[in-house]
Amino acid sequence: MNQTAAARITALSCWKNDIEIEPLSGGMTNLNFKVTDGGDQFVVRFGEDDPIHLISRANEVASSQAAFRVGVSPELVHHETGILVTRFVEGRVFTEADVRVDVNLQRILELLRRFHHQVPKQFNGIAVMFWVFQVLRHYQNLLMQGDSVHAGRLPELAKAALELEAAVGPVEIVFGHNDLLPANFIDDGDRIWLIDFDYAGFNSPLFDLSNLASNNELDAAQELLMLQQYFGAEPDPARLASYHAMKCASLLRETMWSMVSELHSKIDMDFADYTAINLTRFESVYAEYKKNYH
């Protein structure tokens, strides 16, 4: 147990009783704890603004509050600098295999449509734009300035990013989650909840859909079904090309996120290995994209 974190949690003004604290696993940018306060349970997330990864905690707070108002995320009950306290959801934290189950995927798509279109109506404050290609330019600059071991690959990756940005073309804009890892879905047996809004912001729905597919290794048939269910019609060739370009960009962003984390993160994680895994995945999907759309 991190004693400094425990002391700060104990001192929060939101508790009604003596509390019990236990660490929660997971979280690449945050420390997380489960707190029991009498008959209630909460999650405490530690995390400051992170300009390296373009994370604004004020935006995270506003996104969480709006997501609760539309019924897709647990209630945020307290926040202060560096800390968010939300209600704990008792349920199954999804794995990649859970996301790939057809009935779960359909439920997730219904959840995403609601999140994408209803959250902006409930969002208060200044919202951010998460445009993956600008994120990639930001990461490229950080990697060059930080003398990254991956510097030799950057011109090639930047060229690919420019090509993909042009290929995506005009897009619809919704409010995206932008980090659809399986652990960000919790099934309580009645509904699926969406959590963790570090990267939430306005974006194309194609980013969340391709991010969902790449993070959970959906097969080609599931991707087609996903697009059909989300948009309510069979995807035409233009939408398919745009989607697959965005999927490449999503994987490239995860790769460069990890490259930057190798330089800057204080989290205990083997980022070099994570970079290697995601770079291999990007290269494979990008090669397939080039074969099919060029």
What's the pLDDT at 26? 65
Average pLDDT in the chain: 95
Q: Which one-letter DSSP state was computed for residue 38?
A: T
**pLDDT band per the 50, 70, 90 thresholds, residue 70:** very high
Other CB atoms within 10 A of residue 125 CB: 11
Interval 187-202: pLDDT, tens: 999 999 999 999 999 9
Query: How are strands ordered across the β-sheet holding 192-194?
Result: 92-93, 185-187, 192-194
Query: Interior CA angle at 248 toward 110 and 49, to 5°?
Result: 75
Beta bridge partners of 40: 37
The mean per-residue pLDDT over the stretch 44-62 comes to: 95
Kindly calculate the radius of gyration of the chain based on its CA atoms and give it in whole angstroms: 19
Between CA 78 and CA 87 the distance in angstroms is: 10
Interval 248-278: pLDDT, tens: 999 999 999 999 999 998 887 899 999 999 9
The residues of the chain that CATH labels 3.90.1200.10 are 92-293
pTM above 0.85, yes or no: yes
Say how many residues make up the chain: 294
Contact call for residues 168 and 206 (beta carbons, < 8 A): yes
Between CA 213 and CA 86 the distance in angstroms is: 27
The mean per-residue pLDDT over the stretch 209-236 comes to: 96
What's the pLDDT at 27? 62
What's the pLDDT at 29? 63
Parallel, antiparallel, or unpaired: how do β-strands 31-37 and 19-24 relate? Answer: antiparallel
pLDDT at 59 > cutoff 80:
yes
**pLDDT band per the 50, 70, 90 thresholds, residue 287:** very high
The residues of the chain that CATH labels 3.30.200.20 are 3-87
Other CB atoms within 10 A of residue 287 CB: 11
Q: Does domain 3-87 have CATH number 3.40.190.10?
A: no
Contact call for residues 135 and 251 (beta carbons, < 8 A): no
Interval 123-168: pLDDT, tens: 999 999 999 999 999 999 999 999 999 999 999 999 999 999 999 9
Contact call for residues 125 and 58 (beta carbons, < 8 A): yes
pLDDT at 21 > cutoff 90:
yes
Shortest CA distance to 39 belongs to which of 18, 22, 58, 23? 18
What's the pLDDT at 25? 78
What's the pLDDT at 286? 97
| CATH class for the region spanning 92-293 | alpha beta
